[in-house]
């Protein structure tokens, strides 16, 4: 199974920072942020797949530019 960008980032941060001492509430906020990021990424992948039927895009890069690049 391939690794998503969010999963890669979590792994890299863990390797770089090691075990971080946090308070229990901070742990909950971090876990929540990670879960929200994974859900956002999943929705972006679904949207990218579905977009071929909805928008006039030439390729993945064109879709990215139209969807995420700020004007």
What pLDDT does residue 62 have? 80
* Domain membership flag for residue 8: no
- The residue-averaged pLDDT of 28-41 equals 92
Range of the domain at 33: 21-68
Structural domains of the chain, count: 1
What pLDDT does residue 56 have? 72
* Domain membership flag for residue 46: yes
Task: Spell out the residues 6+ positions from residue 41 whose beta carbon is closer than 8 angstroms to its own.
Answer: 4, 5, 6
* Domain membership flag for residue 47: yes
Give pLDDT tens digits for 37-57: 999 998 988 888 777 666 677
Full-model pTM: 0.69
How far apart CA 17 and CA 40 sit, in angstroms, is: 24
């Amino acid at each position: 199974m391939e690794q998503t960008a969010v999963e890669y980032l979590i792994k890299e941060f863990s390797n770089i920072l090691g075990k971080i001492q946090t308070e229990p509430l901070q742990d909950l906020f971090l876990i929540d942020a990670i879960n929200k990021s994974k859900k956002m990424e999943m929705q972006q992948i679904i949207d990218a797949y579905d977009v071929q039927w909805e928008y006039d895009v030439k390729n993945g890069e064109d879709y990215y530019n139209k969807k995420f690049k700020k004007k």
